[in-house]
Copies of this chain bind each other. A is one copy, B any other.
Amino acid sequence: MAILLFSDFGASDLYVGQVETVIDRYAPGVRVINLLSEAPTFNVRASAHLLAAMASQVPRGHVFMTVVDPGVGTQRPGLVVRVDGRSYIGPDNGLLSVLWARGTMKTAWHITSHPPGVSVSFHGRDIFAPMAASVVTGEFPNENVKSIPAPGELLSGDDLAEIIYIDHYGNAFTGIRGTNADESRELLIRRMRFPHARVFGDAPRGKGFWYVNSLGLVEVAMPADSAAKMLGLRVGQGVQWVA
């Protein structure tokens, strides 16, 4: 079992290393994998959909520490959920609620106490990392949590018909799962229409197309070019199917 980090801590910044140092202290020898540290900042809903897609592809048993938390320092409690064999620790702000809504076997806890000396601005390091370590080492459930019926902040588990992530190649991920997509239809974004292609090699140069990407999500891409730059795509833009 590994601890997988999903956050907006920044790929160039000093936050991920501090989290790893804390995990090393409480769960020495456990592998820490940084899945993503550039989740859409301040955008809990897009992040929740991206996380749900990534988590579905990871072996059961792994523990996720997840932080996209514009409200850090407010009274919002910390959350632990176990959904279909995987565990997740993060803020109770909706981030874990899309995968919760889609799950079958599931339990939830609020974090009620934590190690002394918690900072007001870095709960990832001071609350969630020690809790992730206690989950991965099997010390959980412990006296620092209380069982709750469900997370307090709940988002829908339905697909999100928006752009939720743009990768460094310029590909635009939507929150629509490929299992819900019909290859005969076109995707409409900003008055542009994109037909389906199975893969980059099948699409004409200089034209955008949609396909089901490696996370199982509908993605808009352009062969050997940045779809985001060429087409002006950004996280949060709405998408819709047209005949």
Query: Interface of A with B (CB < 8 Å)?
Result: 2, 4-5, 10-18, 20-21, 24-25, 28, 31, 33-38, 41-42, 50, 54, 57-59, 62, 70-74, 119-122, 125-126, 165, 167-169, 198-202, 211, 213-214, 224
Please tell me how many copies of the chain the complex holds: 3
Whether B12 and A37, one on each chain, are in contact in the complex, defined by CB atoms closer than 8 angstroms, is yes
With A21-B35, A33-B20, A200-B72 known as contacts, the answer to whether A10 contacts B169 (CB < 8 A) is yes
**Can you identify 24 A-B contacts, CB atoms within 8 angstroms?**
A2-B21, A2-B24, A11-B11, A12-B12, A13-B38, A13-B167, A14-B35, A14-B36, A14-B167, A15-B167, A17-B33, A17-B34, A18-B214, A21-B35, A21-B58, A24-B33, A28-B31, A41-B169, A42-B224, A72-B200, A73-B202, A119-B214, A121-B211, A121-B214
Q: How far is the CB of A97 from chain B (nearest CB, A)?
A: 20
Q: How far is the CA of A110 from the CA of B119 in the complex (A)?
A: 37
**Nearest B residue to A59 by beta-carbon distance?**
B25
